[in-house]
Each structure stands twice: as C-alpha cells, then as structure tokens.
Amino acid sequence: MALKVALTDILACPVCKGKLKYSKEPALLICLADKLAYPIRDNIPVLIEEEAQQLTTEEVEQWRS
C-alpha cells in the first residue's frame, strides 16, 4: 500500500511547518524551504529532522520546476 498523496495536504515540515512535496521513487517527503528530504519507511513518513537528508540547491531547483 503506497502513501496517499492527499496525505501531504495535512502533513507539514516539522522544522518550518511548511508544505511538503511527495516523491514516489525514492519514497520521500520534501521541504523546499529547508532543503530537507524526509524518508518514508514501510509507508510511514519519518518526520524527524535528524532522519532527514540535506538537499543540494540543484535538487531543490529540480523540485521547483
């Protein structure tokens, strides 16, 4: 069972409380404002700042376009 995209409407970045974008492959929730990608493990979003990976400026720009 995959994460429902509509779930991103109610989830927020734990750092800035901003909107998150959903990436199916790899399974991530992305905060463009903080340049962080939160993993989704076993269909459960892991919204812990220490678990997030830092995104490069190039990766953020790809998600904005």
**Phi, psi (rounded to 5 degrees) for 8:** -65, -15
Give the model confidence (pLDDT) of 39-61 as tens digits: 999 999 999 999 999 999 999 99
CB neighbours of residue 10 within 10 Å: 6
Domains of the chain are: 5-64 (2.20.25.10)
Q: Whose CA is closest to 1, among 42, 37, 39, 30?
A: 42
State yes or no: pLDDT of 4 exceeds 70: no
Q: Are 3 and 27 in contact (CB under 8 A)?
A: yes
Task: Tell me the CA end-to-end span of the chain in Å, nearest whole number.
Answer: 28
Q: What is the pTM of this model?
A: 0.87
